[in-house]
Chains A and B, each alone.
Chain A
Amino acid sequence: MFANHLQPNLTPDTVERIPTRYGYGDGLLEAGKRDERVVALCCDLTESTQTHKFANEFPKRFVQIGIAEQNLISVASGMAAMGKIPFTASYAMFSPGRSWEQVRTTLSYNDSNVKIVGAHAGVSVGPDGATHQAIEDMAIMRVIPNMVVIAPADVHEARKVTLAAALYEGPLYFRLGRSATPVVTTPESPFEIGKAQRMYSRNEVHEKKVGIVSTGSLLFNSLMAAEELQRQGIGASVLHMATIKPLDTEALEAFAAEHGALVTVEEHQITGGLGSAVAEHLSEVNPTRMVRVGVHDRFGESGEPDELISHFGMDTPAIVAAAQKLI
């Protein structure tokens, strides 16, 4: 059954859909009102990344960098050195995609209090195609020491992540999506950096069981898959890991021990992201059978968001099929 803090009536026909980047726009404005040290920088994508809400309210605390992502990151590092809390936004493919070394040296190694916001992550960017679909961003950020990596599930969680990022001292990355994402959580749902949340609990009458570990925008598909598995007589639970670094190892180990087999779900390459993080950890402490749902070493392509999620094997039937392999 669904966790009690989630939206009512979670079905494909009734769920509301809002892009996660709107949560960033609202959260950034709110963070800016709470703390005057918060500043925003953007690379000619102000409205698309929803930075414009902040920029309109606080024009003197907004820096338009132009199309220059390497400069974006290092300028932010300089501003943080003077006591600011900079939020840098571009498309994830360009920052941290193009700005990786600047993130590593001038943010992480420098321990700069800068937030990296990668919008338009995942294949659900849609018609723009592979060049604009970042499906490697979590991998390249996760490997950097002193970095936090978060993939919020929906608009409400994206807002909470933004507010938490402003309070967190140090470099932090989170990704956002372009297309309308099912709204699963509510403004009251708990969020804490580094804490996994149980979003769906299996019916204990079923002997067969499987655990689904999701991150980011595919939480809704994971929940729908859990419902379907229950209907098939398989007890399925969903653990949402918005933060993939630092990994909530305590929750993960308990979840793995409870279910004995796991499916990981992410809109990302299956290497380097959530699936890798889970496999790496569990293989050392409690080797657990797993199937990783995500993009299998391919580039994206043009299409409608939902078509692409299905095409690349990340829709509800694909998650159900992955779980069935483990039973």
Chain B
Amino acid sequence: MQYLSSEEVRSLERKANLIRQSIIEMLTEAGSGHTAGPLGMADILTMLYFGTMNHDPQNPDWEERDRLILSNGHVCPVLYATLAHAGYFPVEELMTLRKLGSRLQGHPHRGTLPGIETSSGPLGSGVSQAVGMAIAERMDNPYSSKFFYCLTGDGELNEGQIWEALMLAGKEKLSNLILIVDRNGIQIDGYTKDVMPLEPLAEKFEAFNFDVQEVDGHNLRSLNDAIGKAQSVYSQPSVIIAHTVASKGVDVFERDFRWHGNPPGKGPEDRVDKDEQSEVALRKLRTLADTIEASDIS
């Protein structure tokens, strides 16, 4: 997608807002699951599925599609909600999340739900799988225009396997691989800087022979530009370090690592009572939706 017009930005923001509302609703209904990551990554997923990627919700196994590999599987509510709003399956089905017999497993399972490229949850293996896909594609078609987008969390970068995969991606000069890191600064036990410092992160990726960009992970124009630039990188894999706000969109949940693994109704109570968390979140998001409609983006 080229430069985004004001109307395109507004349309994407509208989608991201709807996806966030779905995330709150499905997590509340499920009574368990992760809140901070999914809300924080809604803009990235929206950009990819409603702007960047070649894909066909009516034909999820279309051979020529770009691939989205979710390595940080625990944020799957945002992937499920995005896929549903894109038309892969009915939006109502989101409410079956984590229930017995549901296609929406607590962590993604390939084969049960259309649009899921791999099972993930145990951290660190998605990047390797994206690398394998990118290598296989290049074997068959060196001039392929297919891209392999791999999403990871920043906490996930603690895993040693990530760095095994990065080494191989650099060695193989996989210019069809675009990694997007959700740099929200939190993980379960606290802030990433305390649990396991990652900085200097951009320099680490550079040392592994990646093209590195850092963007505001909530600015759709910046994301669009960064992805466009990553697509044009020659002879190197790319990483976009997307700086995001955990729980973005619901200000009373934002930046608090205690929202990593709790759903609305079971989160920290110091700002909103448990029984009001879901309702407050939805109200905040609907207010935000009105702001989007009223905004003058140019």
Residues of chain A whose beta carbon lies under 8 Å from any beta carbon of chain B: 39, 60-61, 63, 65-66, 68, 70-71, 73-84, 86, 101-102, 105-106, 109-111
Interface members, chain B 105-140 (any A CB < 8 Å): 109-111, 117-122, 124-126, 128-137, 139-140
- Of B122, B124, B135, which one neighbours A63 at CB under 8 angstroms? B135
Q: Is the interface of A mostly helix, strand, loop or mixed?
A: helix
| Interface check B206, CB cutoff 8 A | no
CB distance from A152 to the nearest CB of B (A): 27
A66 to B125, CA, bound (A): 16
Contact residues in A for B171 (Cβ distance below 8 Å): 66
B167 touches A66 (CB 8 A): yes
| Interface check B161, CB cutoff 8 A | yes
14 A-B pairs (CB sep. < 8 Å) = A39-B139, A61-B139, A70-B161, A74-B126, A75-B168, A77-B118, A77-B128, A77-B129, A81-B133, A102-B128, A106-B129, A109-B119, A110-B110, A110-B111
B130 touches A71 (CB 8 A): no
| Interface check B164, CB cutoff 8 A | yes
B168 touches A68 (CB 8 A): yes
Contact residues in B for A39 (Cβ distance below 8 Å): 136, 139
A65 to B164, CA, bound (A): 9
Beyond A39-B139, A106-B118, whether A74 also contacts B111 by CB under 8 A is no
Contact residues in B for A105 (Cβ distance below 8 Å): 119-122, 125
Beyond A68-B164, A105-B122, whether A75 also contacts B128 by CB under 8 A is yes
Q: Which residue of chain A lies nearest to B166 when distances are taken between CB atoms in the complex?
A: A71
A78 to B247, CA, bound (A): 31
| Interface check B230, CB cutoff 8 A | no
Interface members, chain B 128-157 (any A CB < 8 Å): 128-137, 139-140
A73 to B168, CA, bound (A): 13
CB distance from A221 to the nearest CB of B (A): 39
CB distance from A170 to the nearest CB of B (A): 12
| Interface check B165, CB cutoff 8 A | yes
A71 touches B128 (CB 8 A): yes
Beyond A60-B139, A61-B139, A68-B164, whether A79 also contacts B132 by CB under 8 A is yes
Beyond A61-B139, A81-B118, A111-B111, whether A74 also contacts B133 by CB under 8 A is no
- Residue among A76, A81, A101 with max Cβ neighbours from chain B (10 Å): A81
Contact residues in B for A86 (Cβ distance below 8 Å): 132
Interface residues on chain B, number (Cβ under 8 Å): 32
Contact residues in A for B119 (Cβ distance below 8 Å): 105-106, 109-110
A68 touches B136 (CB 8 A): no
Beyond A68-B164, A81-B129, A105-B119, whether A75 also contacts B135 by CB under 8 A is yes
Q: Which residue of chain B lies nearest to A105 when distances are taken between CB atoms in the complex?
A: B122
B136 touches A83 (CB 8 A): yes
A71 touches B165 (CB 8 A): yes
- Of B69, B117, B128, which one neighbours A70 at CB under 8 angstroms? B128
A77 touches B132 (CB 8 A): yes
Q: Which residue of chain A lies nearest to B165 when distances are taken between CB atoms in the complex?
A: A71
Extra contacts, 16 of them, besides A70-B124, A82-B140, A106-B128 (Cβ < 8 A), are: A60-B139, A61-B139, A68-B168, A71-B165, A74-B161, A75-B165, A77-B118, A79-B133, A79-B136, A81-B136, A82-B132, A83-B136, A84-B139, A102-B128, A105-B121, A106-B125
CB distance from B142 to the nearest CB of A (A): 10
Q: Is the interface of B mostly helix, strand, loop or mixed?
A: helix
Interface members, chain B 52-70 (any A CB < 8 Å): 69
B109 touches A78 (CB 8 A): no
Contact residues in A for B111 (Cβ distance below 8 Å): 110-111
Contact residues in B for A101 (Cβ distance below 8 Å): 122
B117 touches A81 (CB 8 A): yes
A109 touches B109 (CB 8 A): yes
Beyond A39-B139, A83-B136, A110-B110, whether A78 also contacts B164 by CB under 8 A is no
CB distance from B154 to the nearest CB of A (A): 20
A63 to B117, CA, bound (A): 22
Q: Which residue of chain B lies nearest to A41 when distances are taken between CB atoms in the complex?
A: B132
A141 to B254, CA, bound (A): 43
CB distance from B39 to the nearest CB of A (A): 26
CB distance from A72 to the nearest CB of B (A): 8
Contact residues in A for B164 (Cβ distance below 8 Å): 66, 68, 70-71
In the A-B complex, the 3 residue pairs with the closest CB atoms = A78-B132, A74-B128, A82-B136
- Of B125, B133, B139, which one neighbours A102 at CB under 8 angstroms? B125
A83 to B121, CA, bound (A): 23
CB distance from B110 to the nearest CB of A (A): 5
Contact residues in A for B133 (Cβ distance below 8 Å): 78-79, 81-82
Contact residues in A for B69 (Cβ distance below 8 Å): 78
CB distance from B116 to the nearest CB of A (A): 10
Contact residues in B for A106 (Cβ distance below 8 Å): 118-119, 125, 128-129
Q: Which residue of chain A lies nearest to B160 when distances are taken between CB atoms in the complex?
A: A70
Q: Which residue of chain B lies nearest to A114 when distances are taken between CB atoms in the complex?
A: B132
Q: Which residue of chain A lies nearest to B120 when distances are taken between CB atoms in the complex?
A: A105
- Of A78, A82, A84, A110, which one neighbours B128 at CB under 8 angstroms? A78
A63 to B167, CA, bound (A): 13
Contact residues in B for A71 (Cβ distance below 8 Å): 128, 131, 161, 164-165, 168
Contact residues in A for B125 (Cβ distance below 8 Å): 70, 74, 77, 102, 105-106
A81 to B146, CA, bound (A): 14
A80 to B132, CA, bound (A): 8
CB distance from A140 to the nearest CB of B (A): 16
A110 touches B132 (CB 8 A): no
CB distance from B103 to the nearest CB of A (A): 15
